[in-house]
Amino acid sequence: MEDNDVVIVGGARTPFCEWLGGKRGDGGQGGRLASISAEELGSIAI
């Protein structure tokens, strides 16, 4: 694989928008993924 190659990865859908605001699905504060950055979640999914 070269540095300029494009790779399309299909995978799990992660609800970034909910965790980005620090709210759970029920509207409460926090959430189990609140401390994990979007980049980390993406790398885990890949």
If phi > 0 it is left, if psi is from -120 to 50 it is alpha, else beta; for residue 22 that is left
Give me the average pLDDT of each 10-residue run along the chain (46 residues).
Answer: 81 58 69 76 77
Q: Residues 33, 24: contact at Cβ < 8 Å?
A: no
What contacts 25, CB < 8 A, 6 or more positions away?
15, 18, 31
Distances 46 to 41, 42, 43 between C-alpha atoms, Å: 9, 6, 5
pLDDT computed for residue 43 by the predictor? 82
For the chain, which residues make up each domain, given as ranges?
16-45
The whole model's pTM is what?
0.38
Query: How many other C-beta atoms lie within 10 A of the C-beta of residue 19?
Result: 21
